[in-house]
Amino acid sequence: MTKMPLSVVFILLFLAVVVPPSTAEIKSLVISDDARPMILFEKFGFTHTGHVTVSISSVSVVSTSSDPNPEASRLGFFLLSEESLLQVLLEIQQNPRFCVLDSHYVTHLFTFRDLSPPPNSRFNQSYPVTSPNEYSLFFANCVPETKVSMAVRTEMYNKDPNGSKDYLPAGSTQLPTLYSFFFLCYVAFLGFWSYTCWTNKQTVHRIHLLMAGLLLIKSLNLICAAEDKHYVKITGTPHGWDILFYIFQFIRVVLLFTVIILIGTGWSFLKPFLQEKEKNVLIIVIPLQVLANIASIVIGETGPFIKDWVTWNQVFLLVDIICCCAIIFPIVWSIRSLRETSKTDGKAARNLSKLTLFRQFYIVVIGYLYFTRIVVFALKTIAAYKYQWVSFAAEEIVSLVFYVIMFHMFRPEEKNEYFAVDDDEEEAAALALRDEEFEL
């Protein structure tokens, strides 16, 4: 047997660890002329009542080697748990010619030897999962120089005590309730923000209306996410709610980055216009967010079985990092501009309060980005599969806290505490501005 490419195997087995559990648990896809030695289809958290059903049809195996009839037992499907992953890696490392289908650490489902005779080569079988765990469904092709084509339909679910099927993984079955709760939180937040703007009409600026729009879109995004997960949970498919979810997610993300940038520039409440460099940040961030959302849709609606799935993940990660860095610049520019202005306009207390406000906002934004990009990812990686919902809850809690702090800092007020100063405060502020405290 020809040596199996170790790089491909290690990448795919690594994906079995970092790939999040699948969300649409009835999937149909077509594999065409694929020569990959291993294909990861999806990942699912099973309870003791778990089942996996795999149905394949229109199977075609084409060999370009000297052997036109490859051994059918060398091609097949299996389940692999994370606990067994290291053992399989060790077996492959010790023997590069080793076929993973021969491993005692995988749960064998079937091989192509079990297919019905051609030309209607097909197979359909449901398997109970007797050992609760998080498993990855793989297809292995241990025959070198062989291309496989087939139509694959997978169905994974756990059974509730009443006998109904739950198509969400064991760690995600709480998500419909979770998203519904946060939807109600944001609806209440929107109502309170609307009341605040109504009672402070004289100090309401365009940015405050944009912030209200952000709350509305965030609420719609959450209720669509809740409905999406609810229908996946009971039927295995989102029934179109995923389309609405992606639409509102796109609007929400673009609007959030836009609001952070505009607040960072002081637009509408400090100045009525944007400078050229601030416009350039928006021109860069918004198209990048379009690209990031396209990548997010491809990642969410397909899976690691497509050949470019890893590339789309890299695109999403790179674009997200660029956008997170870009939104920091307007805040830094505003802090430096206020510091320079304070030296000439004689309004030390007012400038000190603004500097304090923007410096606090800078810290809050950095903390929000750090937690949602790094800490949440760490939680998803280290949390047991039954508690994956905790990382989603943590992300929504931190997002809500961030929204509350940001909206409180830049709320419309008739008498803003930052601007009510006396002579003693003015002198103290002038001394503080001479310090290097506000240098970043």
Sign of CA dihedral 246, 252, 256, 258: positive
Distances (CA, A) of 439 to 134, 260, 339, 409: 49, 21, 9, 21
The Cα 220–Cα 338 span in angstroms is 37
Unique residue bearing structure tokens 């050949």: 307
Tens of pLDDT, residues 31-58: 888 888 888 888 899 999 999 999 999 8
Question: What is each CA distance from 329 to 285, 310, 407, in whole angstroms?
Answer: 12, 30, 20
Kind and range of the H or E run holding 60: strand 50-63
pLDDT band, very low/low/confident/very high, at 227 (cuts 50, 70, 90): very high
**Residue 46's closest CA among 94, 82, 2?**
82
Strand, helix or coil at 190? helix
Cα gap 399→391, rounded to integer Å:
12
Write down the pLDDT at residue 226. 96
Q: Which residue has the tokens 């999937």?
A: 27
| % residues pLDDT > 70 (the chain) | 78
Instruction: Report how far residue 69's alpha carbon sits from residue 63's, in angstroms, rounded to the nearest whole number.
Output: 7
Query: Which residue, among 307, 313, 282, has the nearest Cα to 295 in the 3D structure?
Result: 313
* CA gap 352, 354 in Å, rounded: 5
Angle among Cα 336, 403, 392 to the nearest 5 degrees reads 125
Residues 238 and 269: their CA atoms lie apart, in Å, by 42
Q: What are the structure tokens assigned to 169, written together? A: 């993984």
Averaged pLDDT score across all residues of the chain: 81
346-384 residue pLDDT tens? 555 566 667 777 778 888 888 888 888 888 888 888 888
CA 139 to chain centre: 25
How far is Cα 83 from Cα 100, in angstroms, rounded to an integer?
Answer: 15
How would you class 27 by CB atoms within 10 Å of its CB: exposed for 0-12, middle for 13-18, buried for 19 or more?
A: buried
End-to-end Cα distance, the chain: 60
pLDDT at 209: 93
With 70 as the cut, is the pLDDT of residue 268 above it?
no
